[in-house]
Amino acid sequence: MPSERITISEVGARDGIQTEAAFIPTERKIELIDALTATGLKRVEAASFVHPKVVPQMSDAAEVMRGIQRRPGTRIGAFVPNSKGAEAALAAEVDDLKVGSAASEAFNELNVRMPLEKNLAVLRDIASLAKGSASRLVGVVGTAFGCPYSGPVDVERVARIVEAYSELGIELTYLADTTGMASPREIRAALEMLRPRFPAMTFGLHLHNTRGLGIANALAGLDLGVRDFESSIGGLGGCPFAPRAVGNISTEDFAHMAVQMGYSVDADIDALIACAKLAEEIVGHSISGMVMKAGKSTDLHAVPRENAAAPR
């Protein structure tokens, strides 16, 4: 049985909440983030420093960062699309500046309003701003396995972005199945091509469950040695630029599977389940996590009296 530790980057408070139609009050975002960091998670995304007209749900990013508890050993991340966002994130003392480019040109135009090469130039500016600070850049390659507008993505385009990230000094890159188009076959093909070409890069996976394959894709990554995963509490989320997209793989579902398989995770499963229930209460509607509903597979139940054998 494996004994390696898996590192989970929890993205529910950013990637999960950003698509909610009703604005989530700042104090409730802070409440959720503090509950998540209390579980033992070592990486938690708290916000996105984007223009409020683009993602209104993240308009209180600075206030959220000021209000959360900063726990020793837990890195707080935020998405930054440009230099202005990076400056705000650095002022807020964000530990991980999450930067991204989409492998699909069509999706890149929608997501960051610019073509890939211009986007990479912007990332170079962000890297210059962060140089010498306590913050590090973490890369995300969006639509790494397919685009809902232009179809399959050539893995060479993914490699072009990873190469640019390497030149910026990025050491951790998440390959994102942004709209849930991948199967385990695509996960394997991309990793088997990329890892030998970029041996100094740590590759993680950011998986969405749009077509029910999120956990299967995570398992494919585990079998290939991936130990860094992004997930969202309760399966919250979606993508504002993708038709019919649903949330990330559920953090507590993935962590439960990993522990059942003999891996170790940073967070306590019961605490994650409590966070999923809190997230559902905060957003005010049912969310897709399964373990939060069914409980852990190790939870036992009393036999109902009406089903018990009659006494002799």
What's the token pair of residue 303? 């036999």
Catalytic member of 99, 239, 291, 292 = 239
Token pair listed for 182:
């991948």
Tokens of 259: 């522990």
275 is catalytic: no
Q: State the catalytic residues.
A: 239
